[in-house]
Amino acid sequence: MNKVFNPETASHEGAALRGDYSNARDDFSIRQDWSAYTDADHALWRKLFQRQISLMPRYACAEFRAGLDKLDCADGVPDFDKASERLRAASGWELVAVPGLIPDGAFFKHLAGRRFPVTSWLRKPEEVDYLVEPDVFHDFFGHLPIISDPVFADFLQLYGERGLEAEKRGAVKYLARLYWYTVEFGLIRRAGELKAFGAGILSSAGETPYSVQHTDPLRVKFDRERIMRTSYLIDDYQKTYFVIDEFDELFAALDTLDIDAFLKAEATKPEIGVGQRIETDTLIAPNLARTA
Ligand code: HBI
Ligand code: FE
């Protein structure tokens, strides 16, 4: 998610834990306080979980599904300490609880240390279908499963490292686009079929089938420079998705990125709009919709 952190406008209404940065440590982490979740929270989690899990066999990549199995989180809002143990065993990552969006620098530092910041509060029942800021369902269900894949896990750590570097050079905006179109809204092609791995897709009941099957959005073969020049929407389904074939492509894209060279050459070219197609795009067709 890519909204600028602003404690002045951070929401204080609603569930006990929402948007309360007052107890946050210097690194913006907090204690999860699992006992504060209500029965209604756990019931809402199960409802969200059941709706998404039914979509996963058809729309999520195998690595995401394997990671989700390991996290064992069907029964209610998960206990972060137990989940950290499982993630540590799978790929050497853990999670830290945060009150919501945190500043870029703090976010990058956690990723560079193989800690994924997970928002602790859960949306309200009237928000089941739509939320602009991340909550615990988006962060946990959407992000954590794929982090148990070793290649993706290393890519995300490297993103944190390169993010810290980008911050010093005033290039966070371009790194954030790479994150948006991969970690949040990435698709992968497997045996000619599109599957999703992005957290923004896989935590959304509507965007999960939309991203893979709908004929409206553009699907473009992964292209680092192209993505870093493309703006994005935070409050609607994406108009463009980028497609990889292997998670190694993500790691390599960051590993070989020369931030200064990008700023000098690519960043001076015109910005590419959401849903805009350019000449060099390799387009990829959606999966044909079949009845389940
Ligand atoms: N904070 N909790 C949280 N989650 C995010 O996804 C997040 C963030 N802060 C900054 C941020 N994302 C992005 O702007 C960076 O990836 C650039
Ligand atoms: Fe996210």
Please tell me the predicted confidence (pLDDT) of residue 289. Answer: 64
Nearest to 95 by CA among 51, 53, 147: 147
Task: Give the nearest ligand 1 atom to 100 CA.
Answer: 2
Half-sphere exposure of 284 (CA within 13 A, CB side): 23
Q: pLDDT per position in the chain (292 positions), as tens?
A: 433 445 444 443 334 468 899 999 999 999 999 999 999 999 999 999 999 999 999 999 999 999 999 999 999 999 999 999 999 999 999 999 999 999 999 999 999 999 999 999 999 999 998 888 999 999 999 999 999 999 999 999 999 999 999 999 999 999 999 999 999 999 999 999 999 999 999 999 999 999 999 999 999 999 999 999 999 999 999 999 999 999 999 999 999 999 999 999 999 999 999 999 999 999 999 998 654 4
d(CA 251, CA 190): 18
Contact 222, 176 (CB under 8 A): no
Please tell me the predicted confidence (pLDDT) of residue 132. Answer: 85
Q: Is 134 touching ligand 1 by the criterion CB < 6 Å?
A: yes
Nearest to 71 by CA among 144, 139, 126: 144
Contact 219, 245 (CB under 8 A): no
Cα of first residue to Cα of last residue in the chain, in angstroms, is 31
Compute how many other C-beta atoms are within 10 angstroms of the C-beta atom of residue 142: 22
Indicate which residue's Cα is closest to atom 6 of ligand 1: 1
User: Under CATH, which architecture does the 20-265 domain have?
Assistant: Orthogonal Bundle (1.10)
192 alpha carbon – ligand 2 mean position (Å): 27
Nearest to 118 by CA among 197, 203, 232, 228: 203
d(CA 69, CA 228): 33
134 alpha carbon – ligand 1 mean position (Å): 9
The residues with which 241 forms a beta bridge, in sequence order, are 219
Please tell me the predicted confidence (pLDDT) of residue 131. Answer: 87
- Most informative mutation of 5, 30, 98, 102 for ligand 1 (most atoms within 8 A of CB): 102
89 alpha carbon – ligand 1 mean position (Å): 25
Angle at 85 (CA atoms; ends 41, 158), nearest 5 degrees = 100
Task: Give the nearest ligand 1 atom to 1 CA.
Answer: 6
Nearby residues of 62 by Cβ (< 8 Å), 6 or more positions away? 190, 195
Angle at 88 (CA atoms; ends 165, 115), nearest 5 degrees = 30
Q: Is 183 touching ligand 1 by the criterion CB < 6 Å?
A: no
268 alpha carbon – ligand 2 mean position (Å): 28
Token look-up 């192209």 returns 226
d(CA 172, CA 166): 5
Q: Is 101 touching ligand 1 by the criterion CB < 6 Å?
A: yes
Indicate which residue's Cα is closest to atom 3 of ligand 1: 101
Alpha-helical runs (H) found in the chain:
39-53, 56-59, 62-71, 80-91, 104-112, 136, 144-147, 150-168, 172-179, 199-202, 207-213, 224-228, 248-255, 259-264
